């Protein structure tokens, strides 16, 4: 079995996908908020709640949509949509990093650096 090859984005390509990525992220944030609200309401047996199960399935479908585009969702608190796009900068594999309150992809970080290690894209 052959593993799927990583798609590497240019900054331009990542920005071109943002209208669709933004829509998917909006849906992820909406579903995440619903799950949190129902969990608070239901309490200790939230994972067994049929509404939460259905919402979790929707969330998984949304994650797959992003992965099919070649990027991945990173904000597990569902407070601010955060998406990484694999890229190569200066011959090094990095992740272009977009946050849902940003108009375009402007930052990147190393493969292990995460959001805290974000750097402004080189000119």
For residue range 17-59, list pLDDT tens digits in order: 999 999 999 999 999 999 988 888 877 666 778 898 899 999 9
Task: Report if residue 2 sits inside a domain.
Answer: no
Q: Is residue 6 part of a domain?
A: no
Cα separation, 108 vs 41, whole angstroms: 38
Does residue 78 lie within any of the structural domains?
A: yes
Tokens 């992740």, residue? 95
DSSP state of 6: P
Could you tell me the pTM of the whole model?
0.88
- Residue 101 falls within a domain, yes or no? yes
pLDDT band at 2 (very low <50, low <70, confident <90, very high): very low
Residue 99 scores a pLDDT above 80: yes
- Parent domain of 108: 11-112
Total count of domains within the chain: 1
Question: Is 3 domain-assigned?
Answer: no
The residues, ordered by sequence, that sit 6+ positions from 50 with a Cβ below 8 Å of its Cβ are: none
The answer to whether 94 and 87 are in contact (CB under 8 A) is yes
Tell whether 123 is covered by a domain.
no
Longest dimension (CA), the chain: 51
120 inside domain: no
């Amino acid at each position: 079995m052959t593993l799927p090859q990583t798609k590497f984005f240019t900054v331009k390509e990542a920005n071109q996908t943002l209208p669709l990525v933004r829509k998917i992220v909006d849906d992820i944030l909406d579903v995440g908020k619903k799950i949190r609200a129902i969990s608070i309401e239901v309490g200790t047996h939230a994972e067994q709640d049929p509404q939460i199960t259905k919402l979790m399935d929707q969330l998984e479908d949304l994650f797959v949509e992003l992965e099919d585009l070649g990027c991945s969702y990173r904000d597990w608190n569902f407070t601010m949509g955060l998406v990484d796009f694999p890229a190569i900068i200066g011959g090094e594999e990095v992740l272009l990093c977009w946050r849902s309150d940003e108009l375009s992809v402007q930052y990147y970080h190393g493969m292990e650096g995460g959001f805290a290690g974000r750097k402004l894209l080189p000119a």
